[in-house]
Structure 1
């Protein structure tokens, strides 16, 4: 990352890179939240979304592509919302803690999108 990176930028890169890596280290947990109406198998979507997160992390990390990468991150955070909805529906009968985690993911998407948009604005 360039010498003008902010903590918001570094933390966004870390979040995206960690999440992308987890898609390959623990794919089964992601497979279960892939919406059923998507074509192909869940594992394909798990790996594709992992690659997307890693690519976006790399784009945000590089000063020359930071703005575009951060805008892509905002889009990615919005795009995964249907998976979070599926998770909340599927987990509605689970014990309190996992159910709370699933429900908490829903409103979390908005601050993630706003965070990515802030990094994009800061990159200008």
Structure 2
């Protein structure tokens, strides 16, 4: 097992745990997320619930060999699809759960979104970039 393989396993489990926890939060407290759903998205509550289901399914998929690749692709696409909600949250300064987060939170969060896309693809075994070929077998 190479160092890249070990990193991939660790990052896979971290991402799966993160998506599982956030998915459960989306299902248990959808009202906290509804304010950041863009106005052009129909059925905000149902959309938040669906995102929770997608996060949980993606987390489970990542830890199974059979569905890992598909989960990596789906979670990367998911991270792209929810980006408009992150933008709305930042630009409009939406208060969520009584808390208004400033740019000290939003700027890094928005900048980190491409990393989350890469992370999903790497954790799902879709890509090995930038580590491909760096480990001696």
TM range (shorter): 0.7 to 0.9
Aligned length: 117
Residues 70 and 124, structure 2, Cα contact 8 Å, conserved in 1 = yes
Q: Which has the higher contact order (CA 8 A, sep 6+)?
A: 2
Change (3 A) 1:43 1:34: same
Give runs of ≥4 in structure 1 deviating > 4 Å.
none
Q: Distance in 1 between matches of 2:91 and 2:80?
A: 18
Structure ranking higher in helix proportion: 1
* Aligned-partner Cα distance in 2 for 1:120–1:22: 23
Q: Which runs of 5+ in 1 are unaligned?
A: none
Q: TM-score, normalised by structure 1?
A: 0.84
Instruction: Determine which structure has more spread, i.e. the larger CA radius of gyration.
Output: 2
RMSD of aligned alpha carbons: 2.3
Match of 1:120 in 2: 124
Name 1:75's counterpart in structure 2. 77
Question: Which residue of 2 is the match for residue 106 of structure 1?
Answer: 110
Give the TM-score taking structure 2 as reference length.
0.76
Point out where structure 2 has 5 or more consecutive residues left out of the alignment: 1-5, 95-99, 129-137
CA contact 2:87–2:110 (8 Å) conserved in 1: yes
